[in-house]
Structure 1
Amino acid sequence: MISSPEQQAVDAAITSRRSIRAFLSTPVERADIAAILEVASRAPSGTNTQPWKVYVLTGAARDALCARITEAYRDPEQNRRHQEEYAYYPREWKSPYIDRRRKVGWDLYALLGLTRDNKEGMAAQHARNFNFFDAPVGMIFTIDRVMEQGSWLDYGMFLQGIMIAARARGLDTCPQAAFTQFHAIIAEQLSLPDNEMVVCGMALGVADPARIENALVTEREPVERFATFVDDAPGIVNDAY
């Protein structure tokens, strides 16, 4: 089947998306950020509830939040006082999920020359999350506490829309669950109303091609391992695709 230019453009935007962990200081125009969010807002949501809310941070506002969270992360006493409001990851890990998690972690650390016994180096790399990996634009996403699990599914499609729309404009992103641990600092710094819960953060900017960590490309399972094709005839499963 011959692909159209439109298909190629969409596929390229999706497949070229990666979590970038080092950005250039190149500024992103406010109009471009607004356009990305406008495109992403076309994401589907149950009965058009549109459960997303975004705080876009640049300049001094971004730097102030980064400084406060980084200080709390590096201070063991403060760090212990900050806990996530929701469980992003499983409370009990099992294969194959734990295997994939470990692989991406050690692949990243290997690129950075970090060994298993270099706990300080790994902590320093994790702390880069809280500076949005030097991206000039940081985003914090919140959701109203009354919303249930379905709205969180909708939220994921909105976040994906942002990342794909950014790629279409030659920009890169990194979605960041790490910010959820410090939701109390975020709430205070951004004056969040009590009904809003922090979902995650996201870095937005231009990838630094010289940084080795941006060479990381994570693996994906082939379609035949996660998809089952079911024929029209009841009870017949076709595993071939």
Structure 2
Amino acid sequence: MDTVTTIEDALLTRRSCRAFLPTPVPRAQVERLLSLAARSASNSNCQPWQVHVLTGAAKRALTADLLRAHDAERRAEAGEFDYQPRADQWPEPFRARRRRFGESLYRDTLGIAVDDTTGRRGHHRRNYDFFGAPVGIILTVSRAPLQGALVDAGLFLQALMLAARGAGLHTCAQASLIDFHPVLRRHLAIADDHVVVCGLALGHADEGHRLSAHRTTRESVASFAAFYDSASYDSGVAPGADSA
């Protein structure tokens, strides 16, 4: 088992795993990971999250229903919150980054051409079986402090994914499940005052699958961080400003 021993190792080896082995993950281990994730910060310690864990027959039943809805194109008319813009409405630089991700996943790793709609749809369909993971998780948060609760959910999710790496497991966060939130509500006891944030696949990575080689890049610190220190304060010049 490829356990990691430091937070740095967990961050460097965490990835969106899209091919899992059927090897079961004991319930006690899942509960331990959730208890670690629950140490996450939240606004005024409100802890607005709820977690629904599916394995075995319960997961198979949900997967079958999700696949039927997907194949019949019965997506919800509207999401429970505004997660992302339509494909043609992404501004730069996010449009280019999204395009590069799609090319690296579909074309370079899977060998699926840009115009191969059937191939792309077939891979996307695997989301609804949690990419073969033995554990499927649905994360929800309260509608009451929604904007803040979504931030809290992100903190919880990241903590859970890093805790999983510490245990030698892999994960994949899945926003695609939002499209079928009515199906999720038929199978899970999701409170009316909660919204579905995302799904999460959890298990042991299938390192023999070609998807195990897929990696994404990250922007440099210089591209997104501005540093304010004594020198910039004393000079009266804002970081990045033209001092000429």
Shared fold by TM > 0.5?
A: yes
Question: After the TM superposition, which of the residue ranges 84-93 and 94-103 deviates more from structure 2?
Answer: 84-93
Distance 1:125 1:86 in 2: 25
From 52, 58, 79, the equivalent of 1:61 is 58
- Structure 2 counterpart of 1:200: 198
* Counterpart residue type for residue 54 of structure 1: V
| 1:43–1:161 contact (8 Å) kept in structure 2 | yes
From 164, 167, 174, the equivalent of 2:165 is 167
Task: Kindly indicate whether residue 79 of structure 2 is the aligned counterpart of residue 84 of structure 1.
Answer: yes
* Counterpart residue type for residue 9 of structure 1: T
Deviation at 1:232, TM superposition (A): 2.6
Unmatched runs of 5 consecutive residues or more in structure 2: none
| 1:82–1:184 contact (8 Å) kept in structure 2 | no
| 1:231–1:238 contact (8 Å) kept in structure 2 | no
Distance 1:73 1:90 in 2: 20
- Structure 2 counterpart of 1:152: 150
- Structure 1 counterpart of 2:45: 48
Per-residue CA deviations over 1:162-198 (Å, capped at 9, x if unaligned) read 0000000000000000000100110111132211211
Secondary structure of the structure 2 residue equivalent to 1:203: strand
- Structure 1 counterpart of 2:217: 219
Distance 2:103 2:40 in 1: 34
* Counterpart residue type for residue 212 of structure 1: R
Taking the TM superposition and a 5 Å limit, the aligned residue runs for 1:21-32 are 21-32=18-29
- Structure 2 counterpart of 1:104: 101
Provide the TM-score with structure 1 as the length reference. Answer: 0.91
Distance 2:149 2:115 in 1: 41
The 1:39/1:191 distance shift into structure 2, 3 A limit, reads: closer
The 1:101/1:124 distance shift into structure 2, 3 A limit, reads: same
Distance 2:210 2:221 in 1: 29
Deviation at 1:149, TM superposition (A): 1.1
Provide the TM-score with structure 2 as the length reference. Answer: 0.90
Distance 1:94 1:165 in 2: 33
Secondary structure of the structure 2 residue equivalent to 1:117: coil
Runs of 4+ in 1 over 6 A off after TM superposition: none
Secondary structure of the structure 1 residue equivalent to 2:80: coil
- Structure 2 counterpart of 1:3: none
Per-residue CA deviations over 1:28-87 (Å, capped at 9, x if unaligned) read 0111101111111111011100011000000000111111011110113x34x5542222
Distance 1:131 1:231 in 2: 49
Distance 2:17 2:200 in 1: 10
Distance 1:117 1:207 in 2: 29
The number of residues matched between the two structures is 231
- Structure 1 counterpart of 2:141: 143
From 58, 65, 71, the equivalent of 2:68 is 71
Unmatched runs of 5 consecutive residues or more in structure 1: 1-6
| 2:5–2:166 contact (8 Å) kept in structure 1 | no
Secondary structure of the structure 1 residue equivalent to 2:207: coil
- Structure 1 counterpart of 2:207: 209
Distance 1:42 1:191 in 2: 24
Secondary structure of the structure 1 residue equivalent to 2:6: helix
- Structure 2 counterpart of 1:134: 132
Deviation at 1:90, TM superposition (A): 3.1
- CA RMSD between the two structures: 1.6
* Counterpart residue type for residue 180 of structure 1: I
Deviation at 1:14, TM superposition (A): 1.0
